[in-house]
Every structure is written in C-alpha cells, then in structure tokens.
Structure 1
Amino acid sequence: MESLQVKEYMNHYPVTFTPDMVVEEAALRFLKTKQIGGPVIDKNNQLIGFLSESDVLSKMIETIYYNEHIADVADLMRKDVLTVKPYDSVIELGQQMLKNKPKVYPVVDDDENLLGTISRNDVLRAIDLHLRSGYKG
C-alpha cells in the first residue's frame, strides 16, 4: 500500500495564480477550470502561497458591493501552505487530510518548485483504484 505515491495521482496541470493577479481574474480562472483552489507561484515557478475559491468569493462580494477593485491575489493568498512531495504516500496524505483543513495540497519538489496539486478527490480515486485492482494485502 505504501507504493501508492502522490506523483501517480496528482494533477500535473493545476490552476495557478501569480501574486499580482487581480481578484477578478482569479475568479475567472476558478470558473473556467472548476478547481477549488490553486497554488500561487512566482516567476520562477516557486510556490509562494495558496488561493482558494472561498478567499476569492469573499473579495468578489466586496468588489460588487463597492463597485471597485478591492484586492490582488497577494492580498488574499495564504502564505503558510501545507505541501507534499511527489514520492509521499497517498495513504499517509489521506490520513493527514482527515486532520488538516486543506482539500487541495500543492505538490513540490525538494527545491519548492511546483509540480502539481493533489486533492481529496484524487486520494479517494487512488484508494478506490487500488481496492478495485484486487489487492488482498
């Protein structure tokens, strides 16, 4: 079961954001991709934060209320991001997801370069596929 690694089930093409992106553009990216959260990266593909739909929703409500631009991604993103490595165990990640709030985790290499994301749904899919494959161990 330890052989189930994050890299086998992660999303290699997640929605990403930059710190200077306006909240309205971030909202549009969420709408187009139907993803619920995404990494914020710098120009070198280094992970610097994480943005969720709920972060954007709260500011979009303010934007419509005041009828003006309220914030950029840098103003909204979380900087204390829980990450996983591509070689981490999917099962251990699933157990971690039961204790921690994030539904989506950025996957980074040892230099903090973004490789993708993995969500609760990806973890469920990995476990389901493993169980369906007839594993009896």
Structure 2
Amino acid sequence: MGIKSFQGARKHQQAGEEIPLKVSDYMTTKLITFKPDQSVEEVIDSLINNKISGGPVVNDKNELVGIISEGDCIKHISDSRYYNMPMDDDRIENRMVKNVETIDGNMNIFDAANKFLNEKRRRFPIVEAGKLVGQISQKDILKATMKLKSQNWKK
C-alpha cells in the first residue's frame, strides 16, 4: 500500500506573479480616529456604533498621539464610580495610551503575526513620515492568511 498525501491541490503560481505579503497590503486605511479633546462618552458611543474595540488618537495634523481602547474606557467608568467623579468631565487624552508602538507597513505579515503574539496587542498603527496611514489588527492578519492559504507560504 502506497503513502497517501493529505495535502490538497494547490494553485500554481504564474512566473513573475507576486504574492502580497506586506502589512501595507492588508492594513485598514479607512480608520475611525479620535481627537485628544473628545470625551470618553463620545468614544464609547463610537466604539459601540462602529463595532470596534478601539482606535488611534490623532492631532489636527493627523499625527498619532495615542490609542484608546474599550479597556481604557472601562477603566474610566470604574474610576469614576470609585472616586464618585462625573463621567462627562474626562477627555480621552487623560485615558489614552500615549506611548504607542507602531508597525512598519513593509513588514512581512508573518513577522507581524509574531509581533502580535509577543506584544499581546489587538492592533498596531502604521505611521509614515510622521502621519497615520493605516492600522493592522489581528483580524487583518487572519484575513491575509485565508487569502494566502492556497499559496505556497515558503517565500
């Protein structure tokens, strides 16, 4: 009895056909962003209505100044209850993470996947020439791998 291969049929790559493997090929460029002077309540409303878990905070020049997440908003709610402070007083610049780690748009998506695992982040902004140009999320990495699943990943 011969050995059977359980590997499915693969699409053959045309000579010269390039498989996109860079973060910039899969990043989201139409971002919902926030301004530092917005209230936490506005952010919560936007997160719920847009079904997102967080987003970049930019200044008027579209420069990344922070990131705000559901967790940051929940902490604000918890603190406001604990300290008996009104919620509508707080601006997100007081709640956002200011030291934001970014990712290079030219990074290979597999290296990016590894960075997600090591850094335990849900999203990484992509900045070029000081301006926010996109964001890559764990879900974007999953979508990329699904697009590539029939390709040869040894690149």
TM class by shorter-chain length? 0.7 to 0.9
Percent identical among aligned pairs is: 28
**Deviation of residue 116 (structure 1)?**
1.5
Task: Please tell me whether residue 20 in structure 1 is matched to residue 37 in structure 2.
Answer: yes
TM-score, length-scaled by structure 2: 0.78
Gapped runs of 5+ residues in structure 2? 1-17
CA RMSD between the two structures: 2.1
- Please say which structure displays the higher CA radius of gyration: 2
Partner SS state of residue 125, structure 1: helix
The question of 1:123 aligning with 2:122 is answered no
Residue in structure 2 matching 1:36, options 50, 53, 57: 53
CA deviation vs aligned residue, 1:58-95 (integer Å, no higher than 9, x gap)? 21344567472242110011111111122221111101
Give how far 1:135 is off: 2.2
Q: How many residues align?
A: 135
**What's the TM-score, normalizing by structure 1?**
0.88
Judging by fraction of residues, say which structure has more helix.
1
Hey, what's the Cα distance between the residues in 1 that align with 2:89 and 2:78?
10
Distance change (3 Å), C-alpha of 1:64 and 1:24? farther
Q: Which runs of 5+ in 1 are unaligned?
A: none
Q: Distance in 2 between matches of 1:57 and 1:76?
A: 10
Which has the larger displacement, 122-131 or 66-75?
66-75
